[in-house]
Amino acid sequence: MILKADDGAVEERESTVQSPKAFIDEIEGEVREAIEAEHQLDFLGALKLYPKAIGWSVFFSLGVIMLAFDPQLLGNFYAMPAFQKDFGYQYNGEYIISAPWQTGLSMGNPIGQAVGALFAGLPMELYGRKRTFSVCVCGTAGIVFIQFFARSLPVLLVGELLGGLLLGCYVVIAPAYASEVCPIAIRGTLTSYINLCFVMGQLLANGVCAGTSKLSNHWAYSIPFALQWFWILIIIPGMAFAPESPWWLARNNRFAEAEHSLSRLASSKVNVKATLAMIIETDRFEQEMEAGSTYWDCFKKINLRRTEIGIGVYAIQVLSGIYLINYGTLFFTRAGLPTDKAFDMGIGFLAVGFVGTLCSWVLLQHFGRRTIYNVGLTILAVLQLLIGFLDLAPNIDRHPNIIWAQSSLMIIWNFFYDISIGPVCFVILCEVSATEVRAKTIAISTAVQAVLGIAMTVAIPYLMNPDQANVKGKLGFFFGGLACISLVWAFFRIPETKGRTYEELDIMFERGVRTRDFGTYTI
């Protein structure tokens, strides 16, 4: 490993890390100093000391952009004339995709995510974050061929289902990696960046579809499918240089490699030896608590509360109405907007979400995770109920101003979603899970969220389609009611995790600290 000597020259020597206990005993004072330094490190200081960690965290999050891009394409295709004509049937003089096929196609991705997320946990622990990510990207490259050449609904369904299996792995890999390579000061920002990747993927999909929707042949939907190869061409060359997670290396007793990985992620001013000792000490403490490392361990008493919180914050994304984003353009057309205006509104819908996620980074530096989450969820519930009440106006089809008001409220809703529960979900999910079972806790939470997504994927087309329930804006009552129920749970169960090291969180959960006391508890 390369280190700087006192005189500034560069000398080469092997890592001195051997036995974990002996290593921690050797530099116990430095560990205390490292913990104190981590608490005192501010946001700007972390940016200066960990630029490479930030860069690699962003790199691993590119997979989430692909994850968000694919299902968003389908939501737009349902409102695209060329896709409707090639894959749909005529109803009252216009082509539409039947609700059963909308359900089947849209379900391919969440079903794949549920299975893929659970599958990701095992290879991530056996082979590491880097190798698992590499295999998934190569697999995605091949599956895009199925989607690109599909000319029938059954073939497209196969492509979506297989694609979802691999895409579901990305949402487990990215937050786990981000939470393991960055200090406390920027941990919230980089884990919440996962939400920005979702927004970017959805925004790019809407923008591409808005540009190709005017084409009258299969290129209207084939071009968007082909653009998924762009991200793969960026990721594959970079994987050769990506460092592995030092937490995973340390848990597998590869201490010299973990120390080398830390040195690649941090600047030369960081005491990586003390940081490594902190990682080993946290891992040792979790082993003493018998936190375990299997899926079953996530549901043992020591981890059950943490698993519940992780599942809850992720599931509430679906229950509050996030799946309407995938049907945003279709929602606007069913509300009464012209097709071109609906596509424009869909782009604005996600552009506002992009800005909201950026604003959340400022909030995360000044307010607690619990506060942002609960206040944001309250606002989302109120906005959904307002959309529902507006739809009760008599002869609403004759009042375009009401339709525009509902569409505008959906945009405002998306802003508050992406300033609160959207990004903060990933922060809380990564911080409450024990390091030994973090990948598996994220995988379980993702799978549960995907199962709820399957339920919404079944329900929404039947609720929105003109040949089915055609409830239009009254969907606001449905999601507003679920958001109110979710708020009650969130108030009593989500603790404050801001500014805590993973070992401190381990101690507080092990001691059974009450939810309301997490923010002020002294260890």
User: CATH number of the domain that 168 lies in?
Assistant: 1.20.1250.20
Query: Considering 242, 273, 301, which residue would you say is the last residue of a domain?
Result: 242
398 falls within a domain: yes
Long-range interactions of 149-157: CB distance < 8 A, separation 24+ = 151/86, 151/218, 152/87, 153/87, 153/101, 153/104, 153/105, 156/87, 156/105, 157/104, 157/105, 157/108
Residue 11, domain member (yes or no): no
On whether the CB atoms of residues 437 and 304 are closer than 8 A, the answer is no
Provide the pLDDT for residue 17: 53
Residues 165 and 226 both lie in one domain: yes
Residue at 266 is within a domain: no
Q: Is residue 10 part of a domain?
A: no
Q: What is the mean pLDDT of each run of 10 residues along the chain (523 residues)?
A: 35 48 62 76 90 95 90 81 81 76 77 85 90 94 91 87 88 92 90 91 85 85 91 92 93 90 90 86 79 85 94 95 69 63 72 91 94 97 91 67 78 92 94 90 92 83 68 83 96 94 91 92 85
In this structure, the answer to whether residues 328 and 477 fall within a common structural domain is yes
Helix/strand/coil for 236: helix
Give the ranges where 213-338 is alpha helix by DSSP (H).
219-226, 228-238, 246-251, 255-265, 272-288, 301-319, 328-335
Q: Strand 2-4 to strand 10-12: parallel, antiparallel, or no bridges (unpaired)?
A: antiparallel
Are residue 401 and residue 317 in the same domain, yes or no?
Answer: yes
* pLDDT for the residue 424: 96
Is 476 in the same domain as 367? yes
Residue 124's alpha-carbon distances to 105, 133, 437, in angstroms, are 28, 9, 11
pLDDT at 38: 78
> What was the pLDDT predicted at 72?
82
Q: How far is CA 227 from CA 147, 170, 265, in A?
A: 11, 18, 31
Q: Rounded to 5 degrees, what are φ and ψ at 89?
A: -140, 165
pLDDT at residue 6, as a whole number: 37
- Given this model, what pLDDT does residue 18 score? 53
b/e 94-123 (16+ beta carbons within 10 angstroms → b): eebbbbebbbbbbbbbbbbbbbbbbbbbeb
Residue 34 domain flag: no
pLDDT at 50: 93
Let me know whether 307 and 234 are in one domain: no
Say yes or no: 188 and 299 in one domain: no
Cβ atoms of residues 209 and 80 within 8 Å: yes
With both helix axes pointing from N to C terminus, report the angle between 328-335 and 438-464 in degrees, rounded to the nearest 10.
20
Tell whether 328 and 432 lie within a shared domain. yes
CA atoms of 178 and 191, how far apart (whole Å): 6
* CA distances, 195 to each of 97, 174, 203, 346, 510 (Å): 30, 11, 12, 18, 29
Q: How many domains does the chain have?
A: 2
- Whether 224 maps to a domain, the answer reads yes
140 lies in the same domain as 234: yes
Calpha distance 18→484 (Å, rounded): 53
Cα separation, 497 vs 122, in Å, equals 27
Q: Containing H/E element for 82?
A: helix 81-87
Q: Which two tokens stand for residue 354?
A: 């992009």
Q: Are residues 206 and 70 in the same domain?
A: yes
Q: What is the pLDDT, as a whole number, of residue 399?
A: 64
Task: Report residue 62 as tokens.
Answer: 């590119």
**Do 330 and 397 reside in the same domain of the chain?**
yes
> CB within 8 A of 223, min separation 6: which ones?
208, 212, 215
Range of the domain at 190: 41-242
Last residue of a domain, one of 182, 213, 242: 242
Specify whether 157 is located in the same domain as 301: no
Six-digit token pair at 124?
Answer: 């991530």
Cα–Cα distance for residue pair 384/320, rounded to 1 Å: 8
Domain C-terminal end among 242, 274, 303: 242
In a domain, 26, yes or no: no
* CA separation for the pair 340, 333 (Å, rounded): 9
CB of 391 closer than 8 Å to CB of 473: yes
* One domain for residues 346 and 203: no
Residue 227 lies in a domain: yes
Give CA–CA dist 327/76, Å, rounded.
7
